[in-house]
């Protein structure tokens, strides 16, 4: 099996006419097909019957795209084998297709060529080929260590409650799911981690895993390498500043908006309210876990959650969305315009115009896709507009939060969400690569059109 996989990947990687975006799309698609086939087996369900193509495809896509939207209850519908398949798909999807391919190549002792290194660099949003294989090894080691620490911390709560074997399974599953920003849970009845809304150990551990998985491996690597915080690069500064500002402001707004809502924070203790507000500020960053009922949130809170889901995590991470750095670039560009600056500036550095253009393009593409999805879902589904908008944005941002309509989606609605989850996982990254290649082609042209003026 391993040798066949290596031969297939080397065949597609060596085909010069197939570019990086196509290879990444093919890779994620291949994993989804493989996962669907496994989940279609009778052994994958608790009742010993095949779930059907659509249910298996939806679950496999949600797992590989680390989304967390489910049409059946993960804990009760799937068997232990099914849980193992889902967990495997989450891990592969979270780390990325090329990272896992590189891992298999290294285990098999295969030489990694320059073209393969370029693919790895692009898939990790890295700026250089130097040390890219070592970077993959670092990512795998860091992931393993963090997930083990997370599982150990969670086991202090889950083992006393569920017993040794089941407690270990619960701890490992939720640790991997949280670090990969997947949002799958084994609590049953679509509860996510709501039973632990005031449990500091469970909530803080899951929040830590979500942040570490969604902040980006390049950022973590930069923080480990520098001896002085002043030496961190511009990308790290933008990601940390934007992420910190979003979490802090969202937590404060959630606390203010929901403290009087008896269905969410109203009946919690003051420490519980603060803990739940912080959790709710972090989890829309493509994680999908929730400690309070999402459907019971006020309209103002729902709007904030949808904005956070659209932004998502950071490049080169397990998270989805348009990415914090994309949002940050556009935000810094706006500030520079208001200050009368000709160039976009941030932290004493100039952000090049091509980066600003790509950031704007990714946001526009995301908005257009969501508008298209929402219109289609209003035709196929009987849910309210708010529920449909929430579901579509959650799928695009690979978040997994839902107002409860996912199990009731029509077959056409499920296919729309499947496609949206897939585009949300590979789309923004692929679009960035495609835009860069197109721009490079135009920059090599021999002519330039005359300047024109438009009033804005």
Lowest model confidence (mean pLDDT) among 82-96, 274-288, 313-327, 380-394 = 313-327
Indicate if the pLDDT at residue 441 is higher than 50.
no
User: CA-CA distance, 202 to 96, in Å (whole number)?
Assistant: 26
pLDDT band at 442 (very low <50, low <70, confident <90, very high): very low
pLDDT (average), residues 239-260:
94
The answer to whether the Cα torsion of 257, 263, 265, 266 is positive or negative is positive
Over residues 228-253, the mean pLDDT reads 89
Cα–Cα distance, 413 to 128 (Å, whole number): 41
- Per the model's pLDDT, the better-predicted residue between 57 and 112 turns out to be 57
- Taking only the tens place, the pLDDT of each residue in 41-93 is 999 999 999 999 999 999 999 999 888 899 999 999 999 999 999 999 999 88
Is residue 104 predicted with pLDDT exceeding 80?
A: no
- The mean pLDDT value of the chain amounts to 84
121, pLDDT greater than 70: no
Displacement of CA 205 from its chain's centroid (Å): 18
Distances (CA, A) of 165 to 172, 206, 268: 11, 20, 32
Domain boundaries, the chain: 2-439
The set of residues, in sequence order, having a beta carbon less than 8 Å from that of 370 and lying 6+ positions away, is 310, 392, 393, 396
Question: Is pLDDT above 90 for 13?
Answer: no
The average pLDDT across 444-449 equals 57
Percent of the chain with pLDDT over 70: 80
Other beta carbons within 10 Å of 390 = 26
The reported pLDDT for the residue numbered 245 is 94
In 3-state terms the chain splits into helix, strand, coil percentages (rounded to 5) of: 70, 0, 30
pLDDT band at 277 (very low <50, low <70, confident <90, very high): very high
Instruction: Name the residue with higher pLDDT: 286 or 331.
Output: 331
What's residue 3's pLDDT? 59
Q: Which of 43-52, 76-85, 95-104, 327-336 has the lowest mean pLDDT?
A: 95-104
How much is the average pLDDT of 419-448?
A: 61
Predicted local confidence at residue 115, as pLDDT: 62
> pLDDT tens across 189-215, in order?
888 888 999 999 999 999 999 999 888
Contact 75, 185 (CB under 8 A): yes
* pLDDT at residue number 148: 96
Supply the pLDDT for residue 248.
95
**pLDDT per residue over 15-35, tens digit each?**
444 555 666 677 788 889 999
Distance CA 50, CA 414 (A): 18
> Does pTM surpass 0.75?
yes
Amino acid 269: pLDDT: 92
Would you give the distance in Å from CA 419 to the centre of its chain? 15
CA dist., res. 21 & res. 8, Å (int): 17
Six-digit token pair at 98?
Answer: 């090329």
How do residues 143-199 score in pLDDT, each as one tens digit? 899 999 999 999 999 999 999 999 999 999 999 999 998 889 998 888 888 899 999
Whose CA is closest to 380, among 405, 402, 355?
405
Q: With cut-offs at 50, 70 and 90, classify the pLDDT of residue 102.
A: low
Evaluate if residue 416 carries a pLDDT over 70. Answer: yes
Q: The tokens 């309209």 sit on which residue?
A: 299
For residue 190, with 0-12 CB atoms within 10 Å meaning exposed, 13-18 middle and 19 or more buried, which class applies? middle
């Amino acid at each position: 099996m391993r040798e066949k996989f290596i031969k297939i990947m080397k065949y597609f990687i060596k085909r010069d006419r197939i570019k990086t975006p196509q290879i990444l799309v093919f890779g994620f698609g291949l994993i989804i097909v493989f996962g669907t086939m496994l989940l279609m087996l009778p052994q994958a369900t608790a009742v010993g019957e095949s779930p059907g193509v659509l249910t298996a495809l939806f679950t496999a896509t949600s797992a590989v795209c680390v989304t967390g939207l489910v049409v059946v209850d993960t804990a009760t519908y799937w068997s232990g084998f099914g849980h193992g398949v889902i967990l495997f798909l989450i891990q592969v999807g979270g780390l990325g297709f090329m990272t896992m391919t590189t891992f298999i190549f290294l285990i098999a002792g295969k030489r990694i060529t320059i073209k393969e290194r370029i693919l790895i660099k692009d898939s990790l949003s890295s700026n250089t080929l130097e040390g890219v294989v070592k970077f993959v090894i670092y990512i795998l080691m860091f992931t393993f260590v963090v997930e083990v620490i997370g599982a150990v911390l969670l086991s202090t709560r889950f083992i006393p409650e569920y017993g040794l074997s089941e407690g270990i399974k619960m701890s490992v599953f939720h640790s991997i799911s949280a670090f990969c920003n997947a949002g799958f849970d084994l609590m049953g009845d679509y509860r996510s981690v709501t039973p632990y809304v005031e449990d500091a150990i469970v909530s803080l551990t899951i929040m830590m895993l979500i942040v570490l998985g969604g902040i980006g491996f390049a950022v973590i690597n930069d923080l480990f390498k520098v001896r002085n915080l002043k030496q961190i690069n511009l990308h790290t500064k933008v990601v940390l500043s934007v992420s910190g500002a979003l979490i802090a402001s969202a937590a404060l707004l959630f606390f203010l908006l929901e403290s009087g809502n008896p269905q969410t924070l109203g009946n919690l203790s003051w420490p519980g309210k603060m803990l739940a507000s912080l959790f709710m500020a972090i989890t829309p960053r493509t994680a999908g876990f929730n400690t309070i009922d999402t459907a019971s949130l006020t309209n103002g809170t729902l709007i904030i959650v949808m904005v956070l889901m659209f932004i998502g995590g950071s490049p080169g991470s397990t998270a989805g969305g348009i990415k914090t750095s994309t949002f940050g670039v556009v935000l810094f560009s706006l500030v520079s315009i208001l200050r009368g600056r000709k160039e976009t500036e941030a932290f004493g550095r100039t952000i090049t115009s091509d980066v600003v253009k790509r950031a704007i393009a990714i946001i526009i593409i995301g908005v257009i896709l969501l508008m298209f999805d929402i219109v289609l879902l209003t035709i196929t589904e009987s849910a309210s507009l708010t529920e449909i908008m929430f579901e579509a944005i959650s799928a695009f941002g690979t978040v997994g939060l839902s107002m409860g309509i996912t199990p009731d989606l029509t077959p056409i609605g499920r296919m729309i969400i499947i496609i949206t989850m897939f585009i949300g996982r590979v789309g923004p990254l692929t679009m960035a690569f495609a835009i860069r290649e197109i721009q490079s082609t135009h920059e090599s042209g021999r002519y330039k059109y005359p300047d024109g003026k438009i009033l804005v």
